[in-house]
A and B are shown apart, each in its own frame.
Chain A
Amino acid sequence: MKIKIKGAIILLLTVFLIVGFSSVTKEEKKSEFKVAWSIYAGWNPWAYAKESGILDKWAAKYDIDIKLVKMDYIPSIEAYTSKEVDACVMTNMDALTIPVASGIPSTAIILGDFSNGNDAILVRNNLKINGLKGKKVSLVEYSVSHYLLSRALDKNGMKDSDVRVINVSDSDIAPAYVANDEQEAVVTWNPLVMEIMKTPGISKIFDSSQIPGEILDLMMINKNVLDKNPELALALNGAWFEVMSIMSTRGAKADNALVQMAKAGGSSLNEYKAQLKTTAMFYKAGDAVNYMSGDEIKSNMKRVRNFCFKYKLLGDRVNTPDDIGIQFPDGSVLGNQSNILFYFDSSYMMENAR
């Protein structure tokens, strides 16, 4: 009896240890990839790429299989950070605070667009930015909205501590603001901004068009996966810019594509077109390459990085903003050269710039 129990315990322990150790995943050459996306004006084209077969065509060209997975925004980034998906679309700031801060080296292989009014500060009672002093502002703390608020305050000579930030969960921020007259200020993104603006008495006092290029929407790919499997980047770029050229050429095909994209994002065609107006899409690969290789992106990333550091979002091992390195296409590095975790790589986009 005693030996049986002892044996059972040892077996259990062994099983547990094996289970524990089997969570190590090593990147290697493979042919099946998962790419996550979430609903957003600049990312809905991925749904069209999938439905129209364009993505499969490009995947077949490079002899790989790409599975496009639709998720909610934050869960998609979490899936990317826990290596359940190989690539994911996200903003530059979220790329810094979630995967990069968790030590996942990530490369931006597609610069899809930047927010050009998609993120905004809305107020009641015609408050001005200076009037926000001492007031409560509802937003999703430590998100792009928080960054936007910080920039707005900065541009008006105010400090972040001049306002009181109330963290509200993503899904409830719009209905709660609309229903409560006492809430004076909210910072959020589209399509919620458009929804809220339908209510009378609410005005927009600042939006991302006043800080163009600071909120970038990127396709991030795990660098270790990319190094072993560059075909993934080539296929994704090929598919993306084919869709981009369809979108930007006037005609029935473009309209049809837009209808599908709107449906994928859960909005009407007109709503989607309105969202696109406040999204500065890089329809031409050449434009995206130029922007990524320019100087503006460097100073913008510096601002974003400093914001993230200030709020301790870069991880607990980071003691100065320079501890994490961000590399740009020309090879220059912002920060620690021996700890580069964020890469901008325009070479794959360049393939499509011809």
Chain B
Amino acid sequence: MFFDINAKPGKSISIFLGILLFGLAVMLYGSASHSRHADNPQDKLVPTPTQMWKSFSNAIFRPVIEQEFNDDGELIPNDEPKNLREAFKVGKHWEMLRNGEWQLLEDTLASGYRVLIAMLFIFAGVLLGLYMGMFPYLDKLLYRFILFFDKIPALAVLPILFIVFGLDETAKISLIVIGVAPTIILDTYLRVKDVPKENITKGMTLKASTQEIIYKIVFPQVFPKVLDTLRLNFKAVILFLIAGEALAAEAGLGYRIFVVRRYMDMATIIPYVIWISVLAFSIDFFLRRWIKKKFIWIKK
């Protein structure tokens, strides 16, 4: 039954099988976490869901409480509100919200900024690939070079990038661009080459200028497929983002993971990893929807 190629799994068993592996993984994790915590309640390597949630909610928002300890480590008591609920009662909640730490937001914005700028450059790479495909001289000049460049493992080049560009945003963004752009350029180039010559000939017959041929005939045919490649390469974008932030950063999703990794704070790392996956999945999802809507004439 399992290996019947003509099998038609029923609805309920499909759902069951779909959830089965997730369920097994969660159970395995749960039992490992439980046993480790029975042995050592403060274990940090396999955190319980409660620990992870607590850490994650702290990352989302943590009020900055003025806590002063005297030299002996004893808390000097003050009657400032200690959490959001107390602040709400006293009416100081807006102040607390404003002064608090929005760690997850800061990290997401920092990383998002880097990814956004990198994507702009990568989009410029799409245009470069487009021109490479259309202009034979440009083709001859750039193709072999970019082909070679694509094969360089960007992570090996990472330390050099930081040495050349410094520890600021430039190095991190250029790592993402150097890592992903060559693939995108080559892919666009190949897609352009795939456009049937007849279409271009038709355009020329109808007195289209070069610009019109590129942007009105070739580009619309190529763009949805390029977007698909971008979607698939997003994993690489995230990988380079995290690698760059691990090396030197002040804020960011990858930065946070590596800073807390030092003291094995898995309760922060696991939720952050899940958050990154959720973000990547959402971006992928919206891109797919947008491609479908805008390029409805492409039959998949």
Contact = CB atoms under 8 A, between A and B. Distances in A.
Interface string A64-91: 0000000000100010011000000000
Given A16-B27, A143-B262, A315-B44, A320 B73 contact: yes
Interface residues of A, number: 55
B43 interface: yes
Given A24-B39, A305-B73, A169 B248 contact: yes
A169 B172 CA distance: 14
A138 interface: yes
A20 B73 CA distance: 40
Contacts, number: 131
Contact of A172 (B1, B31, B43, B162): B162
Nearest to A339: B42
B259 A104 contact: no
Given A138-B167, A167-B259, A306-B69, A25 B55 contact: no
A295 to B, nearest CB: 14
A252 interface: no
Interface stretch (A55-63, A94-102, A344-352): A94-102
B164 interface: yes
B53 to A, nearest CB: 11
B17 to A, nearest CB: 11
A306 to B, nearest CB: 6
A141 to B, nearest CB: 5
B39 A25 contact: yes
A192 interface: no
A321 B31 contact: no
Interface residues of B, number: 45
User: Looking at chain A's contact residues, is the secondary structure mostly helix, strand, loop, or mixed?
Assistant: mixed
A195 B5 CA distance: 65
A24 B249 contact: no
A246 interface: no
A183 B39 CA distance: 46
Interface string B146-189: 00000000000001001110110000000000000000000000
A98 B264 contact: yes
Which 10 residue pairs are nearest across A and B when measured between Cβ atoms? A103-B42, A20-B31, A321-B73, A179-B163, A168-B248, A102-B44, A180-B166, A20-B32, A103-B40, A97-B263
Given A74-B262, A316-B267, 9 more contacts: A23-B36, A81-B45, A101-B263, A138-B248, A167-B249, A175-B159, A302-B72, A316-B51, A334-B73
21 contacts: A19-B28, A20-B27, A20-B28, A81-B264, A82-B45, A102-B40, A102-B43, A102-B44, A102-B45, A143-B262, A167-B258, A168-B167, A169-B248, A172-B159, A180-B167, A183-B166, A302-B73, A306-B73, A315-B44, A316-B54, A335-B73
